[in-house]
Structure 1
Amino acid sequence: MSPGQIAALVAAGAFVLLVLFLAIVLIKLGRALDEMTIAIRKAHENSDPLFAGANTTLNHVNTQLERVDGITSNARAVTGNVSALTSLFTATLGGPLVKAAAFSYGVSKAVRARRKRKAEAQAEGRHSRRRGGKR
């Protein structure tokens, strides 16, 4: 055998080994693709109930949001009514009530001052009688 024929046999053997290696890799890749296909199919079959449940949940959430919207609009109306009532009360009764409160405060302060002066005068009269003189 000549060296060219030996090199050709080595090259042919290497090519056979390469083909076998690629065949093993392709078989494993095919199995992996089959498993992925099965997993995707199962996920697709199980996704329909999930989407139906999510749709039902979203419908309930939308219903509750509509109720909350109604409640907030009613609360807004009540707030406006209370504000208007407060303004009306302040305009009609606020001024006279402030004047009446100021008047009663002034009267009570004057009465206290008068009682205090009267008590001081009585105390001074008792004190001067003890010393024996009049003032």
Structure 2
Amino acid sequence: MGAGEIAGLIAAIAFAILAGFLIYPLIRLGKMFDQIAETVKETGDHALPALDEGVTTVKQVNKSLEDVNEISGAASSTMNNLGALTNLYGSFLGKPIIKLASIFYGVKVTAQSFMGKDKGAEESSAQQKGKNE
């Protein structure tokens, strides 16, 4: 055995020892990658049902909002119809009632002036006529 062969043997032994030291971290690294892959798979398995539930919840909220829109539309329509009905009653009954009330008021004032009970009203009307002239 020459010096070159001994140096080659020493280099081979050193390489074997170095490879022995590197095997353990590589095995640990492989296990870590396996664990990461399993974690990603589990996360995906749990994320999809959560997303499906979220979509279902959003659909239910949208349905509820559509129901609220229908209810508010019906309430708005009812209020418009009620306003139109009030205007109809006001124009149909209001004007004749106002005319009837003014006729009764005129008859009352005339009756009071003939009976002489409304002297204060006659004096105030006379004073107003004097101011107007």
- Give me the TM-score of the superposition, normalised by structure 1: 0.48
